[in-house]
Amino acid sequence: MLRIFCKSKITNAHITNTDLKYDGSIGIDKSISSAVDIMPGEQVQVLNVNNGERFTTYVIEEKADSGKIVLYGPAARRGESEDELVILSYCLMETKEAHNFKTRKLTLGKNNQVKGK
C-alpha cells in the first residue's frame, strides 16, 4: 500500500513580492528549495499564516541566496509582501519504507536566509 507523507517543510518563509502577470506558481530561492529537496516543477502546498489561505502550485527556481519567495500569476492573489508562509511537499511511499522516513524541515532566518549560511 502506498501512503502520502510530508517530504519537505519550509517554515518562517516570507513573501518578497508578487507578480500577477505570470502563468502562475511560486518562486523559491534555490538555496532554500535545495536544502529541503524540493525540485523546480515539483508540486507544493502553500499555507499563508497571515490570512489562512491554502493553495497548491508548482515551484519555479529563483537565484540561489537571493532570499526570494515570489507568488506568481493567480497565486499572487493569495498573499501580500511580508506575509509568512509554510511550504510543504509530499511523496508517496510504501508503509515499510515510511517507518524510517524523516521529513526534511527548514526554518528560515531573517530575509529568508537559510540558517548557517
| SS3 assignment for 38-65 | CCCCCEEEEEECCCCCEEEEEEEEECCC
Burial class of residue 62 (count of CB atoms within 10 Å of its CB; 0-12, 13-18, 19+): buried
pLDDT top residue among 23 and 104: 104
Q: Are 102 and 96 in contact (CB under 8 A)?
A: no
Could you tell me the pTM of the whole model? Answer: 0.95
Cell of 113: 536566509
58-89 per-position pLDDT tens digit: 999 999 999 999 999 999 999 999 999 999 99
How high is the pLDDT of residue 116? 58
Q: Whole-angstrom Cα distance, residue 60 to residue 70?
A: 9
Q: Which amino acid is at 56?
A: T
Residue numbers annotated as active site: 25, 58
Summary mean pLDDT of the chain: 95
Residue ranges of domains in the chain, CATH in brackets: 2-105 (2.40.40.20)
